[in-house]
Amino acid sequence: GQNIDQPTEMTATEGAIVQINCTYQTSGFNGLFWYQQHAGEAPTFLSYNVLDGLEEKGRFSSFLSRSKGYSYLLLKELQMKDSASYLCAVYGGATNKLIFGTGTLLAVQP
C-alpha cells in the first residue's frame, strides 16, 4: 500500500527552529514535495527532493533519506506568518501521481 505519515499538529515559538517529519511507504519513488497551505488558501510549493541530502532555501530546508523513507522540513527563525499547514507529498513511481500526507498544522506563538 501507499502511506505517508506526518504529525497532525505542532506548536513552536516565534524566532525558534522547528522540524516537521514525514515518513513514507510507496510502491515507487520519484521525488518528494513540501507544500505550505494557509487556512482557506491554496497549497503553495516550498521544496522538492529527489536525491538524498539537504536542500536549503532561505529560512526553509528540506532533507531526504530514500533508504529510510524519511524526510523533514526545517523552518528557522520562525515568524507568525509561518503558522500554516505543511503538506508532504510523494511522487509514486508506478503511477506518477502525487500522494499527499494529511498535513501538519503548525502554530507559531509569540
Partner 1 sequence: DVKVTQSSRYLVKRTGEKVFLECVQDMDHENMFWYRQDPGLGLRLIYFSYDVKMKEKGDIPEGYSVSREKKERFSLILESASTNQTSMYLCASSPSLGAPGNEQFFGPGTRLTVL
Residue numbers of the site for partner 1 (CB under 8 A)? 8, 30-31, 33, 40-45, 48, 50, 87, 89, 91, 96-98, 100-103
DSSP states along 15-61: T--EEEEEEEE-S--S-EEEEEE-TTS--EEEEEE-SSEEEEETTEE
Minimal distance, residue 24 CB to partner 1, in Å: 13
- 45, β-bridge pairs: 35
Q: What would the grid cell of residue 91 be? A: 511522487
Minimal distance, residue 102 CB to partner 1, in Å: 4
Minimal distance, residue 103 CB to partner 1, in Å: 6
Q: Which is nearer to partner 1, 68 or 97 (CB)?
A: 97
> In 10 A of CB 103, how many CB atoms?
22
Q: Which is nearer to partner 1, 53 or 110 (CB)?
A: 53
Q: Which is nearer to partner 1, 33 or 72 (CB)?
A: 33
CB distance 62 to 53 below 8 Å: no
Q: Which is nearer to partner 1, 37 or 83 (CB)?
A: 37
